[in-house]
Structure 1
Amino acid sequence: MQGADVFFLLMGAILVFAMHGGFAFLETGTVRHKNQVNALVKILVDFAVSTVFYFLIGYTVAYGVGFFAAAPAISGGAPGYEAQGYTLVRFFFLCTFAAAVPAIISGGIAERAKFAPQAIATAALVGLFYPLLEGVFWNGNFGLQESFFNAQLGAPFKDFAGSIVVHAFGGWAALGAVLMLGPRLGRYEGRGMASAPSSIPWLAMGSWLLCIGWFGFNVMSAQRLEAVSGLVAINSLMAMCGGIIVAYIIGDNDPGFVHNGALAGLVAVCAGSDVMHPLGSLFVGGVAGAIFVQMFQVSTIRWKIDDVLGVWALHGLCGLWGGIACGIFGLTALGGSGGVTFASQLVGSLLGAAYGLAVGVAVYGLLKFTVGIRLTADQEHRGADLTIHKIRANPEEDVRTFGT
């Protein structure tokens, strides 16, 4: 059975790892052509930095388990490490969740952020700040789940697959980063029109990859075969469809809204996917689709927050809604499995979001006033691809065009 659990969780880790390709292609298709290479390289490097710092520091902060022992010990030969390398595979699975935080932030700060400071921010976020929140809600660290949420609010805070721990934290941290960075050049000058996406097919491919991987993100959050539930899969599916349909209707069939509507529904259902009824999940996903479409437009047009991919609306607000919604549609009175309270979900969700915003402002604010986080005006005008990576997305075509 242990070997089956190892294989089960390994497949989940691989599925969530594949989602990072989705993050990369979603950003690549949304940014202008002169920033496509930067989007691809940034997501990959952020994943590598996240993995190293989560291995060295973050996992220990969250779960009290380190990996500075001999290979036979950490693969199951010593106390605290489960047989057949299950602890190592669990690290891999949870590392892919942790690495989603800088991938989320990447979409908000696209097209004008320096590369090295973002890598430094990734190390701080995944090595320390994210694991602190993860440990409180998923490992019971500091006793807050029992002494505060359960004792004072009626139930432990529930976040089965990360609406708050991953998405709200990442989305609100991204808001802090975007505010510290400021808008792109010309974004709100004159008519203030947003630049068109560089590739709708790449944007759509990113959404599809994320949707597929999300079933590993949610279903395999059970982490054991004996705990897996088909309810999680169906709730994820229904929430995704709700987000698509509502985004299609109120977003005037805009392809960006439709493809992100799917993600909005999946973000929102994470928290309560194991306790809600499928019809409740459909409603939660639909509301999330509406939140994304409306708040993306309000925040970027009316409030002039230059969040390129709308990650605050998508992950921050839809994640916040998902955490709260778990305390509504998880109740037995609304067809849920129970074991949750509205008070616990409301307070926990708001605290998680507030923590993410504070961390985003602190980390990116400190970097702004020390090493700087923004490209110069000339570098931004030239594009991050040539400025940082010295190559464009289609170099052969560029050579051919130059030659003619």
Structure 2
Amino acid sequence: MSNSAVGGDVFFVLVGAILVFAMHGGFAFLEVGTVRHKNQVNALVKILVDFALSTVAYFFVGYAFAYGTTFFVNAATLSGGGGGFELQGLTLVKFFFLTTFAAAIPAIISGGIAERMKFWPQCAATVALVGIVYPLFEGVVWNGNFGLQSWLEAQFGASFHDFAGSVVVHGVGGWIALAAVMLLGARRGRYDRNGRPIGIPPSSLPWLALGSWMLCVGWFGFNVMTAGALEAASGLVAINSLMAMVGGILVALIVGKNDPGFVHNGALAGLVAVCAGSDIMHPVGSLIVGGVAGAIFVTGFEYCQNKLKIDDVLGVWPLHGICGAWGGLAAGVFGLEALGGLGGVSLISQIIGTLLGVGYAAGAGFVVYGILKSTMGLRLSEEEEYQGADLSIHKIGANPEADLGR
């Protein structure tokens, strides 16, 4: 490749990494707008610190688990002087891009455990999840580790297809979050002594909406730039992402009875679901997949909160876990040539890959957070939770001057 071609790919992947990095601000503000005012600072700090810890864990351990590459060589080699590293640091920007995916795991979990989780145990969980748990499954799907993909292709004609991570990223994050939330327990005052839910309204719908918008914009980097090279970039991925997003919005608007929280999360549900098959589905199929995801989120959130009594604050299990699993299955249906897709997928492989991702993530979540619960403890004390995570953990509120009464 010419220097200009390599440089173009470096810039392409770098822009994608920056867009997905910006999505972490979306995760933060979505949580800021949903939690109570006394927990807003904690939401902001968690997401930023989790990203920093994720980068370090993925650099030193996780990337090697997934792709067998370490960075313990000189800078000349890293920049493309041999040893399997691509020219002009292309391998390095790909690492940056994949780091933003890996860091989405604790960012997703953060929304479920909000308002009552201790800070340092979550930091420890982030290191374990991004350093070991996530990259092991990532490597199986995206690098062919352990031979699962080859076996699926030999048995069913196609490997498990998850282009941009409906299952690998969102499903894994969402099902780990379910385990964490169940081990953590509901917020105090969320349910009365008879088990009936007590409403806790969002603190700021504008902040919630800003978070959703940031995620939606960055998602086009998440999906399109997964191609990894300018030459492989596809407008089909972009339009499928768009159609799934609007499908999620419109169905959530109807099923959620015009609730603004459901509308803004409906967009995200559609985008979660389309990741897996965004490179092979027809835009009409993507619209349907996104619409179904919007309905799944609304009904799943209400069932989770009101029937199962699982206090998943931002609804990350239905949004990322269930909609992510739906996306994995949907790629095996709407990716078929008979339904206007490009083909090359097997529904059986999609079912197997999705179920393995769900089971692995839920099991790993119970192991990691179960160990932390028995060693460090997970919850703030009753007094700390009442005071709020901002003052209890960070010793400052979202509006310090107002707190001083000046």
- Report the TM-score, using the length of structure 2 for normalisation: 0.98
Structure 1: 5+ residue stretches without partners: none
1:329 aligns with 2:306: no
Matched with 1:301 is 306
1:188 aligns with 2:191: yes
Aligned with residue 172 of structure 2, among 140, 145, 169: 169
SS across alignment from 2:375: coil
- Alpha-carbon contact 2:102-2:169 (below 8 Å) kept: yes
1:38 aligns with 2:42: yes
SS across alignment from 1:184: coil
**1:334-349 alignment runs, 5 A limit:** 334-349=339-354
Number of equivalences: 400
1:139 aligns with 2:143: yes
Matched with 2:216 is 211
1:9 aligns with 2:9: no
Q: Deviations over 1:147-173 (max 9, x none)?
A: 2x1112221100000000000000000
Query: 1:115 is matched by which residue type in structure 2?
Result: F
Aligned with residue 100 of structure 1, among 100, 104, 109: 104
Cα offset, 1:328, TM superposition: 0.1
CA–CA separation in structure 2 for the residues paired with 1:387 and 1:214: 34
SS across alignment from 1:156: coil
CA–CA separation in structure 2 for the residues paired with 1:170 and 1:366: 18
Cα offset, 1:192, TM superposition: 2.5
CA–CA separation in structure 2 for the residues paired with 1:233 and 1:353: 27
Structure 2: 5+ residue stretches without partners: none
CA–CA separation in structure 2 for the residues paired with 1:395 and 1:93: 36
CA–CA separation in structure 1 for the residues paired with 2:158 and 2:183: 37
Cα offset, 1:280, TM superposition: 0.1
CA–CA separation in structure 2 for the residues paired with 1:311 and 1:5: 33
SS across alignment from 2:80: helix
CA–CA separation in structure 2 for the residues paired with 1:25 and 1:152: 45
Matched with 2:64 is 60
Cα offset, 1:277, TM superposition: 0.1
Q: Deviations over 1:41-72 (max 9, x none)?
A: 00000000000000000001100110011111
Matched with 1:199 is 204
Cα offset, 1:247, TM superposition: 0.1
Matched with 1:22 is 26
Taking only the aligned residue pairs, the percentage that are identical comes to 69
Aligned with residue 111 of structure 1, among 115, 119, 143: 115
CA–CA separation in structure 2 for the residues paired with 1:259 and 1:23: 13
1:157 aligns with 2:123: no
Cα offset, 1:371, TM superposition: 0.8
CA–CA separation in structure 2 for the residues paired with 1:197 and 1:178: 19
Shifted more, 182-191 versus 272-281: the winner is: 182-191
Q: Deviations over 1:64-112 (max 9, x none)?
A: 1100111111111122100100010000000000000000000000000
Matched with 2:253 is 248
CA–CA separation in structure 1 for the residues paired with 2:224 and 2:92: 19
Matched with 1:235 is 240
Matched with 1:370 is 375
Matched with 1:280 is 285
Q: Deviations over 1:311-364 (max 9, x none)?
A: 000000000000000000000000000000110101111110111101111100
Runs of 4+ in structure 1 displaced over 6 angstroms?
Answer: none
When the two chains are superposed, the root-mean-square deviation of aligned CA atoms in Å is 0.7
Matched with 2:397 is 392
Cα offset, 1:142, TM superposition: 1.0
- Report the TM-score, using the length of structure 1 for normalisation: 0.98
Query: 2:110 is matched by which residue type in structure 1?
Result: S
Matched with 1:120 is 124
- Alpha-carbon contact 2:197-2:305 (below 8 Å) kept: no
**1:350-361 alignment runs, 5 A limit:** 350-361=355-366
Query: 1:169 is matched by which residue type in structure 2?
Result: V
SS across alignment from 1:195: coil
Matched with 2:53 is 49
Cα offset, 1:144, TM superposition: 1.1
CA–CA separation in structure 2 for the residues paired with 1:371 and 1:352: 27
Matched with 1:264 is 269
Matched with 1:87 is 91
- Alpha-carbon contact 2:240-2:283 (below 8 Å) kept: yes
CA–CA separation in structure 2 for the residues paired with 1:140 and 1:209: 32
- Alpha-carbon contact 2:175-2:358 (below 8 Å) kept: yes
Query: 1:234 is matched by which residue type in structure 2?
Result: I
